[in-house]
Amino acid sequence: MSEKEPIWPDEMDAGERVRHVALTRTEPRNAGWIADEAAVSRDTAVKYLTRMVEQGDLEVVETRNGDAYKPDSVTQFLGEVRQLAEEHTLDELTRELNAIGNEIDAWKDDYEVESLAALRQTIGRDDLAGDERRERLNVIEEWAYNVEVREAIQLAISLKSSLTTLDADSLSGESSATLPQEG
């Protein structure tokens, strides 16, 4: 028996199911597809999708099959940066940068490459067995993920610093005193 009918946790209502399906897409999907996956009617899916577009969570892409939806990458990225800045200490963020750097260094050694792009090029080598190629493809995916998370952590550190400076200024009442004088 092939499982094409989705099963969902009992506690997830229609809105949560539509939201989860829409926010986990890597390519745009139309309302009918999302409705089938979320086990809701098309009209219900459209109602929630429209709300998510208005809130900036989704972007609409016009396709041959009508409007299609995918996560708004800017909203998603900024949300992640904000969450990293709010939920983690500077020390935690710094230690994660170090862990990412160490893992990338280990991959460079293991595969004798200088960069992610160089590792991608090795996939075309004739001497790689199927298992070796799959392993490298996995590492390529995780390497790209590491790079993406590293960028977000670096921005989160900047955001934390800016917020700390703003907070310190407002607390000490210096913000107005440091403004340039007119005239």
Partner 1 sequence: MVLLLAGGRGFTRRDGLRRLKERIENIPGATNVRYEPSRLRPRTVVADIDVEMYLGDAFPRQTATLEVLWRPHEGKDVQRVQWADEAVSLGWHKDDDHPDLGTTHFQLEASGEVVHEPGQIEVEAPLGFLEVCLDRLPDALRATSES
The contact set with partner 1 (CB under 8 A) reads 1-4, 6-9, 11-12, 17, 20-21, 23-27, 37-38, 71, 73-74, 76-77, 79-80, 84, 88, 92-93, 96, 99-100, 134, 141-142, 144-149, 151-153
Q: What angle do CA 74, 92, 100 make, to 5 degrees?
A: 70
Nearer to partner 1, 28 or 46 (CB): 28
Residue placing its CB nearer to partner 1 in the complex, 95 or 125: 95
Cβ at position 122, least distance to partner 1 in Å = 18
Q: Please say whether the beta carbons of 85 and 159 come within 8 A.
A: yes
Closest CA to 160 of 103, 87, 61, 96: 87
Q: How far is the CB of 51 from partner 1 (least distance, A)?
A: 17
Return the DSSP state at 181: P
- Which of 26, 27, 22, 76 shows the shortest CA–CA distance to 49? 22
Judged by beta carbon, residue 31 or residue 93, the one nearer partner 1 is: 93
